[in-house]
Structure 1
Amino acid sequence: MSSELRLEARLTREQLIAQHELAGPLPRRWAHSQGVAARAGTLAEIVGDRAALINSAAVLHDVGYAPRLVVTGFHPLDGARFLRDEHGVDERVTRLVANHSFALLEAEERGLREVLEAEFPLLEDQLLVDALVYCDMTTTPDGEPTTAPERVAEIVSRYGADSIVGRFIRRAEPEIYAAVARVEAAMGNAQPR
């Protein structure tokens, strides 16, 4: 068996889905998704038995950007529908993907808030919601660690302050920083094993 096939055999189902949809058409988005998943791997101490769940959501959170999956143009909704309808992914994972990084605020900007809330209600597990925000908002588009303020600034710079994404991210900014702070506090309070 070639080393490439052995590596692929070790990938989770969710990693394979994300890789298949993103690696070819959107290699930078794939690098970001891998970086977000790597970040999620550092949170096992605070998420406990939900580590696989947050890892799955992390690697899949941007799958809705894949060109063949674009229906509404709103990647959290397009991605969550794809994961639910084509792959039967765990409902908690699809809800995390649909609502990642305060997507409800962007859905509102796009006139899709009611649709998003009806199909994919917010997950009530605040730690998992915060954990995914932390992983996404402390990872660059190239998959490298960064700070939340640097990430928000990069998003505004890339999309423009007056774009839908620029307006949304500025509205979400205080919530993003609060979520990141809660995760960092939980990490600081985690007892080494």
Structure 2
Amino acid sequence: MGVSISEWAERVAKKELSSTLRQRWVHTQGVAARASGLGPAMAEDAELLSAAAVLHDVGYAPRLATTGFHPLDGARFLRDEHGADERLVRLVANHSFALLESEERGLRKALEREFPLPEEPLLVDALVYCDMTTTPDGEQTSAEERVAEIMDRYGADSLVGRFIRRAAPEIFAAVGRVEAVLAGQPR
């Protein structure tokens, strides 16, 4: 029996993050735990979501940070070094409204060309939910508290601060849609 995509993803993320970026690894493990809790709601995409959750920040690894934009660096690494599943790579590249941040960095065309936004809204929303309801310490939080924490950490006038201000309404909407699915409400 082969290794599942989520087991493979866990090994890759652990190798790249656990020894060099311990805090990022703790956050990643929390995001992955959130994803595992969404399993029943995600049906056949549960494994893919788990893999994307554990790999979403792999591009922060120092050896992978070529552009300094972790979604793009992580997706390129997964595609180029691992030949990873296209859906997985596109989720990593586009997690948590990365397209908006790519505009701030002048990388939107590269991101859109190489890794188009996945056409699976629930899967995209689920990854936003997992990331944006997990603190840097891997604990559960609200999306509002997470956005506030990011603003405090980076500063309102920073590149990330500008991005997160623009993305906040989209983040809150995505989290709300996932919470509605979890509550059994129609989307």
Bin of the TM-score, shorter chain as denominator length:
over 0.9
Other-structure match for 1:62: 57
Displacement after TM superposition at 1:175 (Å): 0.2
The match for 1:34 among 9, 29, 42 is 29
The match for 1:102 among 93, 97, 100 is 97
- Counterpart of 2:95, as a letter, is H
1:132 aligns with 2:120: no
Deviation digits for residues 114-146 of structure 1, max 9, x if unmatched?
A: 100000000000000000000000000011100
The match for 1:49 among 40, 44, 47 is 44
Q: How many pairs were matched up? A: 180
Structure with max Cα Rg: 1
The separation in 2 between residues aligned to 1:139 and 1:188, in whole angstroms, is 19
| Structure 2 portions without partners, runs of 5+ | 1-5
TM-score by length of 2: 0.95
Deviation digits for residues 126-183 of structure 1, max 9, x if unmatched?
A: 0000000000000000111000000000001111111110000000000000000000
User: SS state of the match for residue 63, structure 2?
Assistant: helix
Other-structure match for 2:15: 20
Other-structure match for 1:182: 177
The separation in 1 between residues aligned to 2:112 and 2:69, in whole angstroms, is 14
The separation in 2 between residues aligned to 1:32 and 1:146, in whole angstroms, is 12
Other-structure match for 2:3: none
Report sequence identity in percent: 69
RMSD: 0.9
Displacement after TM superposition at 1:89 (Å): 1.1
The separation in 2 between residues aligned to 1:166 and 1:27, in whole angstroms, is 23
TM-score by length of 1: 0.92
Deviation digits for residues 16-60 of structure 1, max 9, x if unmatched?
A: 100000000100100111100000001112110110000000000
Other-structure match for 2:106: 111
Other-structure match for 2:79: 84
Displacement after TM superposition at 1:88 (Å): 1.1
Deviation digits for residues 70-105 of structure 1, max 9, x if unmatched?
A: 100000000000001001111101100000000000
User: SS state of the match for residue 134, structure 2?
Assistant: coil
Q: Is contact 1:45–1:187 with CA below 8 Å preserved after alignment?
A: no
The separation in 1 between residues aligned to 2:29 and 2:40, in whole angstroms, is 20
The separation in 1 between residues aligned to 2:56 and 2:152, in whole angstroms, is 21
Other-structure match for 1:75: 70
1:150 aligns with 2:152: no
Q: Is contact 1:134–1:183 with CA below 8 Å preserved after alignment?
A: yes
- Counterpart of 2:67, as a letter, is T
